[in-house]
Structure 1
Amino acid sequence: MDQMWVRQLLTCRTVGGRIRLDFSEQRRVCQWRREILLLLFQVCIVSKTDCPHYAKAELLADRLQRCLPNFRIQKISILPREWKEWLEATCKTNGWKHEQSPLVWRELDYYNITSDMSTDIMLSVAAENLETKMNLIAEEQHRVRLVKPLHIWISSALSSTCHFLIPYLLSAEVFPHVSAISLHLLDLEGNMEELQWLRMETEDLALGLLHQVTIHTDLEQAFREAAVILLLDEGWSEDGDRENEEETKKKMVKGISDRYREYGLLIDTMANKDVKVIVSGDSFLNLRCSLVLDNARSIDSRQFVAVATQLENEAKAIIAKKLKVRTSDIANVIVWGNISGSFYIDLQRAKVFNYAGAIKGPAFFSQPAKSLLQERKWLETDFQNLVRCQRAAVTSKTRRAAAMTGANGVLAVLKAWNGICSPDEVFSIGVLCLGYHNLPDGIVLSIPATFTDGRWSVLCDVTVGDELKERLQLSASELWQYVVS
């Protein structure tokens, strides 16, 4: 009798011929006495699929449902090999103790219902139940095999950035040629209950592309079959002695290095070989991207990029305010160097649309930003500092991370990578330098690029003068000290 459980919301217990109602929502465990739980409103019978008593309980429940107008029944059958694990997990989750089944059989003379069933029939029905269950599982597995979902993994899934990303990732706007998406939410510092709520909220979006959502707080299954991986900012603690910031920073770098080396090894073995890996956030972007690709040796380094789009857009906003145009009227701003460290905002390719100046034209007409911004000193000093401080100024006022702009930057790069952009549109992305513009080899730096047919290409039609080279050498030196340490 330890094969079957009954869960009730409202029970009517008969002992002898007397009836008393029990409105307790707590689980009742019957002792081995001649009594039975009669369920008047809602009952859930859980059993091993091949349990003979389950067949008998089904018969009783079906007859009660026909006789009692408010009686509701739910049947859950568990495969024999999974029963013990399910039972232990259920007891642990609900704080229950299990010794034997709470259901003790007794004929329902009070309702003039009997459940005559011979042992042979019970065994026959139990065998049929098991066969039916196995057939249903086989059909479901076959159905799942017919669906080829795109697997997307997101780290730091409980971050605000992830919340902004999810609805857009599950839309044809970002993945126009995909029929189904399996979303895998990973958060190593996260709470499983919070992840479960996030999964429920994602499923409640009822978006057509969503195939399934899985949640993970460890790396056991991390990046399996991944086609897209979004590595968002981790929750690195910056608490520590303010007088010893250098030591605190070293500890952070060590933690990041250990984590991202492990990510790289897992991506190397678990992900698809054509996986797209996008690193985003506020801290150590170039370093994190470098660590991942260095440890995923079987995957082309061109499949790894760090996002500088957030910086681009912040620079555009400052220029737009100065020229009294919309932020969307500024295009092709370039970010060079270390995205979350020593970077340089370059306007040599930047264009301004809809500028209300002496020269006007149709909507497609643009003018070089540098010709409209004549203040060279401002561009080289104040402008650079304004961009550097823009995000910090916003977060200090809102008291939260700039998650919306971060998510927008990731989506912009992802859409471009999926072919949803003009081939002339310039993006700044952190990539492994392989002799581009005579930059230092073997290190991730932000450079201008374009996307065509699902691949990015370095923008060659730019000028890298001596002053810019010095800035980039400074960025490289800054990154090398972290890599070496």
Structure 2
Amino acid sequence: MAKIVIAGKSECPYYARAELLGDKLARNLPNFQLHKIVQQPDDWENWLKNTCNERGWQHMKSPIVWRELVDRGGKGVLIGGANEFQEYAFGYYGIQSDQVSNDMNLISKENRQYKIDIVKEEAEFKARSSPIHVCITCATSPVCYAIINSIGQGDVFGKHTEIALHLLDTNDKLEELEGLKMEAEDLAHGLLREVSVTSNTKDAFKNCSAIVLLDDLIQNPEEDKSAWIKRNSSHFSAYAKVINDAALKNVKVLLTGNGPVNMNTYMMIQNAPNVPRQNFVGLSRRIENNAKAVVAERLKVNTSGVVDLIVWGNVNGEHYVDLTRSRVHGYDGAIWGPPSFSLPAPEMVWDKPWMEKDYIELVKTRHEKMTENLKHTPSMSAGGAITSMLEHWWMGSPAGQMFSLAVCSEGWYNIPDGMVFSFPVTMVSKGYWNVVQDIDLSEEMKTAISATLQDIQSEKDVLFPPPTPPPTESKVTIIDPKDEEEQQEKSEKTESSEGEKQDDSEGEKTDPKLDTIEEEKTGSTTEST
């Protein structure tokens, strides 16, 4: 089945003639499909140039007519202008136009006024619309590809919230972004009011209510951890400064990826003083979902049935997966109940050695195993973690359930104020999170949490080294060279005089035994006399 497309300037009389001929064919031919495109005179030349470049055609006037195969797609076959279309219609269908010049001019005036009214109506409709602006950075990432559909169909920000989507990436990725924009528009979601692409951070963050940072700075093989942390800090600090100036003051910022998420979040808080610090959070949900999936496999239940599993600490560093309060729904055991009924997951597992050793190892290696099997980094699960987290933050989380989130501490569980740490949170109040503060920590948990805190502190010490103690004081005397020579001469004279005195004293001294012998000799001589 063929479809004829007629496009032209609204004021063009030749477009009017082609349009009327197309209407006549549509009325008389049952399988004839007609599509019209009307452009304002100011927009016509650019539109025509882009259309011809895209399809590889040469055409310079209004109108332009082409034929498309509905069941095959493709760029279509160029027919030409009004005269060529009239010849095509007569040659294939034996129908020709009988319009005279006066009628063509009248219709062209009507077309122009109609187009002006349509444009005005669309502008008024857009003026009544107030979409929220959402930005995704590193938008050519497969993770971005996995979340755009959910955002556009209202799963994240609500079924009645219109979205103006900003896609940000580097200059060399702009062509890919244009392709992504076209595909997003082809989703035909009514809530997706606008899609824009840019490599300018200020334009991307302007008036944004939500920002998702997908940037993942990979550690180079020759790069040590300290240099990698500093590179991350510089990158995200630059983002924070632009967000501080360009985005809305109540913007919500979600940091994701495999980098030092806690420290990146901390640095953004330091460099965006105009934005409340509670509006910068790091994603713990991906690791939390990995841990839930391992428990679900063990108990043969759906992953969504495992709840209240908590990730404490450094998201992509040293963290502690807490199973102690987790519960499981839908477990096929001796005791059954309604969908709201749950059982303690540790009791259902009932294998302490597995929970203490094998389970931890399975959670740590799950991401690597997925990457190895897929031959690329998992993006669908990462996208799901991001969209579910944003949905809960924006629309509220299920009542009675806890989730993990890296947030700025206010001293909870003896974590220093200002430190970004993954805590158990609820998001029952729309737009806000609240740390669950009534969990009793065992000594084992306190030790594990302390280890995670030290790991975060070691990363912070790279950027803010602790002060070194001052060196011990020592008294230094500066001696003039002349004084030093005089002092040396005096010292030599003193030593020589002391040596002479010592020799004299040694000459005057005699051995007591020799004195006794001399006395005995003198006594014997006197007796013989």
Q: Please state which band the TM-score falls in when normalised by the shorter chain.
A: 0.7 to 0.9
Is 1:59 aligned to 2:34, yes or no?
no
Residue 140 of structure 1: how far off its partner (Å) = 4.4
Q: Which residue of 1 aligns with 2:450?
A: 470
- Structure 2 equivalent of residue 282 of structure 1: 258
Which string of whole-angstrom CA distances, capped at 9 and with x for unpartnered residues, describes residues 211-235 of structure 1?
A: 111112222402112112111133x
Alignment correspondent of 1:171: 153
Structure with the greater alpha carbon radius of gyration: 2
Instruction: Give the match for residue 186 of structure 2.
Output: 204
Paired residues of 1:333 and 1:426 also in contact (CA < 8 A): yes
- 2:340 alignment partner in structure 1: 364
Three-state SS of the structure 2 residue aligned to 1:152 is: strand
Q: Residues 189 and 393 of structure 1: is their aligned pair in 2 closer, same or farther, counting only changes over 3 Å? A: farther
Q: Distance in 2 between matches of 1:391 and 1:317?
A: 11
Residues 1:417 and 1:61: Cα distance change in structure 2 (over 3 Å): closer
SS at match of 1:385: helix
**Which 10-residue stretch deviates more, 204-213 or 60-69?**
60-69
Deviates more, 1:272-281 or 1:355-364: 355-364
Report how far residue 175 of structure 1 moved.
2.8
Q: How far has the Cα of 1:134 moved from its partner?
A: 8.3
Are 1:452 and 2:416 matched, yes or no? no
Which of these residues, 170, 174, 180, is aligned with residue 188 of structure 1? Answer: 170
TM-score (norm 2): 0.67
Question: Contact 2:396–2:429 at 8 Å: present in 1 too?
Answer: no
Q: Where do residues 389-404 of structure 1 align in structure 2 (5 Å cutoff)?
A: 389-404=365-380
Report the Cα distance in structure 2 between the residues aligned to 1:136 and 1:203, rounded to whole angstroms.
Answer: 21
Q: Which residue of 2 aligns with 1:319?
A: 295
Identity %: 29
Letter of the 2:170 partner, please give it: L
1:260 pairs with 229, 236, 239, which one? 236
Name the CA shift for 1:74/1:175 in 2 (closer, same or farther; >3 Å).
Answer: closer
- Pair 1:66–1:147, CA change in 2 (3 A): closer
| 2:263 match: secondary structure | helix
Mapped partners of 2:301, 2:112: distance in 1: 69
RMSD across aligned positions (CA)? 3.9
Alpha-carbon shift at residue 147 of structure 1 (Å): 0.5
Aligned-partner SS, 1:227: strand
Relative to structure 1, the CA distance from residue 457 to residue 322 in structure 2 (aligned partners, 3 Å threshold; closer, same or farther) is: same
Q: 5+ unaligned residues in a row in structure 1: which ranges?
A: 1-40, 47-53
Give the Cα–Cα distance (whole angstroms) in 2 for the partners of residues 365 and 112 of structure 1.
77
Letter in 1 for 2:211: I
Residues 362-371 or 448-457, more deviating: 362-371
CA distance change for structure 1 residues 147 and 360 in 2, over 3 Å: closer, same or farther? closer
Q: Structure 1 residue 291 and structure 2 residue 267: aligned?
A: yes
Structure 2 gap ranges (5+): 26-33, 63-82, 84-96, 466-529
Aligned equivalents of 1:83, 1:476: Cα separation in 2: 59
The one-letter code matched in structure 2 to 1:331 is V
Whether the aligned pair in 2 keeps the contact of 1:302 and 1:431 (CA below 8 Å) is yes
Q: Could you state the TM-score of these two structures normalised by the residue count of structure 1?
A: 0.72
Pair 1:114–1:391, CA change in 2 (3 A): same
Amino acid at match of 1:272: L
Distance in 2 between residues matched to 1:303 and 1:340, nearest whole Å: 20
Give yes or no for contact 1:338–1:479 (8 Å, CA) kept in 2: no
**Aligned position for 2:215:** 233
Number of paired residues? 412
> Residue 406 in 1 paired to residue 386 in 2?
no
Contact 1:312 1:335 in 2 (8 A): yes
Say if 1:263 and 1:292, in contact at 8 Å, map to a contact too: yes
Alignment-mate amino acid for residue 216 of structure 1: T
Structure 1 window deviating more from structure 2 (176-185 vs 144-153): it is 176-185
Q: CA deviation at 1:475?
A: 2.9
- The reply to whether residue 159 of structure 1 matches residue 141 of structure 2 is yes
Q: State the 1:77 CA deviation.
A: 4.2
> 1:461 corresponds to which residue?
438
Structure 2 counterpart of 1:347, which letter? Answer: L
